[in-house]
């Protein structure tokens, strides 16, 4: 067995064999995990997907560590009992950098995590300066520091914890107006004036690729933006195998929200564009 820090999962090499299409649960605090979901769907179009957004507790970046472990574990208990997934993708850096060991100890299921892509960013940097743009929770994790200690070498890593960007990404997806200035202010600390210029930015929160084209336009100079979603999808096919050559095509995917709030027509449209036509609202209030 080897431990692969970058993808955040443990595996023994051989893919699982199932007598039917797998059930894959993709989990996030909100809508950011959709950026991972779309890549995993491309990799296993035959699978049955459930996308679960714990929007009752959004943003996870604002929860303290004890509360976050308790919350994710409680919601996962319910989701696993309801949907019996064959594999779970924790499409959230804020949760993965903290909760994966507890989830793996609790469930006899493969969990694929999402953690900041520091190793590939460092490998790519020519200026030897990279920035990690993530939630305040992710930037202060021991796990993130361990990735830097192991992989950064001579490369300087600027950690940028944003309190607002995940919410701005959700607002944009819901069709609300998001000012350029609000995005520019959040990404500005990735580009310090002193020292070598940043040439790679790690998108260390799954919400941020939703704003990627705008961040590219608003950045003070061009950089490489690293989105881990394709690597996560590859890891899923490593575990579950490639799809069979002939399959029945895409199953209708379902989205589940824990807040119990009604889904607006704009959000329904946005989810439809990701292939999520069936919606379940199951209130799982925080603290219940
Ligand atoms: N999408 C989540 C992540 O990747 C975080 C958003 C939140 O703060 O809930 O970190």
Q: Is residue 190 flagged as an active site residue?
A: no
Tell which atom from ligand 1 comes closest to the C-alpha of 62.
Answer: 8
Q: Note whether residue 6 is domain-resident.
A: yes
On whether both 137 and 220 belong to a single domain, the answer is yes
pLDDT tens-digit series, residues 63-98: 999 999 999 999 999 999 999 999 999 999 999 999
Q: Note whether residue 83 is domain-resident.
A: yes
Tell which atom from ligand 1 comes closest to the C-alpha of 91.
Answer: 4
Whole-angstrom Cα distance, residue 157 to residue 152? Answer: 7
Range of the domain at 52: 2-11+21-115+230-281
* pLDDT band, very low/low/confident/very high, at 12 (cuts 50, 70, 90): very low
On whether both 43 and 93 belong to a single domain, the answer is yes
**CA of 279 relative to ligand 1 center, distance in Å:** 21
Q: Which one of the listed residues 205, 215, 226, 270 is annotated catalytic? A: 205
Residue 264 or 239, more confident: 239
The pTM (predicted TM-score) of the whole model is 0.92
CATH of the domain at 36: 3.40.50.1860
Determine whether the shortest distance from the Cβ of 57 to ligand 1 is under 6 A. no
Q: Which of 71, 94, 95, 113 to mutate to test the pocket of ligand 1 (most atoms within 8 A of CB)?
A: 94
* Token pair in block for residue 215: 């961040």
Tell which atom from ligand 1 comes closest to the C-alpha of 61.
Answer: 8
Q: Note whether residue 16 is domain-resident.
A: no
Identify the residue whose tokens are 């959709």: 34
Determine whether the shortest distance from the Cβ of 207 to ligand 1 is under 6 A. yes
Cβ-Cβ contacts under 8 Å for 115 (sequence gap 6 or more): 5, 6, 7, 8, 93, 96, 97, 143, 144, 147, 228
On whether both 110 and 253 belong to a single domain, the answer is yes
DSSP characters over 109-176: S-EE-----HHHHHHH-SSSEEEEEE-HHHHT-HHHHHHHHHH-TT-EEEEEE-SSHHHHHHHHHTT-
What is the count of structural domains for the chain?
A: 2
């Amino acid at each position: 067995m080897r431990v692969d820090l970058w993808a955040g999962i443990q595996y023994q090499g051989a893919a699982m064999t199932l007598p039917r299409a797998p059930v894959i649960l993709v989990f996030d605090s909100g809508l950011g995990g959709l950026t991972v979901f779309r890549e995993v769907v491309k990799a296993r179009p035959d699978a049955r997907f459930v996308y679960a957004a714990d929007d009752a507790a959004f943003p996870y970046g604002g929860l303290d560590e004890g509360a976050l472990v308790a919350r994710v574990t409680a919601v996962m208990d319910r989701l696993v009992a309801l949907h019996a997934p064959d594999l779970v993708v924790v499409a959230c850096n804020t949760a993965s950098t903290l909760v994966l060991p507890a989830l793996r100890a609790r469930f006899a299921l493969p969990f694929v995590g999402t953690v900041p892509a520091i190793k590939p960013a460092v490998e790519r940097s020519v200026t030897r300066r990279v920035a990690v743009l993530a939630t305040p929770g992710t930037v202060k994790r021991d796990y993130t520091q361990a990735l830097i200690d192991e992989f950064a070498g001579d490369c300087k890593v600027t950690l940028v914890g944003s309190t607002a960007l995940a919410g701005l990404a959700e607002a944009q997806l819901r069709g609300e107006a998001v000012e350029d200035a609000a995005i520019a202010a959040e990404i500005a600390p990735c580009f310090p004036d002193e020292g070598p210029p940043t040439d790679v930015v790690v998108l260390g929160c799954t919400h941020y690729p939703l704003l990627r084209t705008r961040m590219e336009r608003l950045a003070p100079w061009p950089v490489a933006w690293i989105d881990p979603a394709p690597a996560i999808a590859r890891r899923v096919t490593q575990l579950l195998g490639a799809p069979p050559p002939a399959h029945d095509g895409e199953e209708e995917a379902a989205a589940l929200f824990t807040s119990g709030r009604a889904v607006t027509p704009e959000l329904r449209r946005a989810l439809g564009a990701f292939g999520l036509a069936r919606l379940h609202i199951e209130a799982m209030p925080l603290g219940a």
